[in-house]
Amino acid sequence: MNTFESIFLDLGLSWTLSKSIPYLLMVLLGFIFVYTFHSRIEHKLKKWIVMSFVGLLPFTLYFAIYPIYQGDFSHTFFSPEQLDDFPKEQTLSVVVLPSCPYCHETVSFMNELIKREPSLHIRYVVVAETKGMLKDFRSKLDKRIDVIISKNPKNWITMAHGGFPCMILSQKGKVIHAWENDYFGVRAIDEIIQESEK
């Protein structure tokens, strides 16, 4: 979440709308620029070229700074076989490997998520043999986020389909579904929040 998107989250809009609105505003700003400047150029070809550039400029600049990634708006998930116990309350289990750089990149986002949605239950499941591997995650994560070691690493690797990090949503001790890191976007977050409010 960038600062612009955070404004809409602070206003109480969903994560999906907060991500979408800035792009829509940039398109609107492009139209305003075109409307403002179109009458100042007489030559038709020159007008068409300049207006195309001016109209696309706000969206292009915003997109260059804050690109849309593959999983931002998609809602692609899978249903893993449940091979371990899950908490009774709704839980987002972030399955990570100690040496995975992408797993460590999730920390700042999950800290932001728990800050904005304190009613969520988030836990990190570190797929490792020893508890010493928990320290890196525990030291960086918000205190409200649990960090545990996997009881059976092979089972967690299977549930994550071998891709890390993997986010698994469970409720009443049962797995609902999971997301690969590339597909864990704003629509997934909105679904988790909606499920927690039921």
Task: For tokens 């940039």, name the residue.
Answer: 26
For the ranges 11-25, 49-63, 151-165, which has the lowest average pLDDT? 49-63
Please give, one letter per residue, the 3-state secondary structure of 35-84.
HHHHHHCCCHHHHHHHHHHHHHHHHHHHHHHCCCCCCCCCCCCECCCCCC
Is the model more confident about 192 or about 42? 192
For the ranges 28-32, 118-122, 138-142, 173-177, which has the lowest average pLDDT? 28-32
CA distance 28 to 24: 6
Q: How far, in Å, are 64, 96, 117, 159, 177 from residue 168 at the CA level?
A: 31, 11, 17, 9, 6
Helix (H) or strand (E) holding 29: helix 15-37
What is the arithmetic mean of pLDDT over 117-137? 91
Can you give the pTM of this predicted structure?
A: 0.84
DSSP 92-142: EEEEE-TT-HHHHHHHHHHHHHHHH-TT--EEEEE--SSGGGGHHHHHHS-
Domain locations along the chain: 3-65, 91-196
Is the model more confident about 44 or about 60? 60
Q: Per DSSP, what are the bridge partners of residue 92?
A: 122, 169
Is the domain covering 91-196 a CATH 3.40.30.10 domain? yes
- Is the pLDDT score of 198 beyond 70? no
Is residue 110 within 8 Å of 141, Cβ to Cβ? Answer: yes
Percent of the chain with pLDDT over 70: 96
Give the per-residue pLDDT at 1. Answer: 76
Percent of the chain with pLDDT over 90: 67
**What b/e string do you get for 13-38 counting C-beta neighbours within 10 Å, with b at 16 or more?**
ebbbbbbbbbbeebeeebeebbeeee
CA distance 195 to 159: 21
- Is the pLDDT score of 22 beyond 90? yes
Closest alpha carbon to 84 in 148, 165, 179? 148
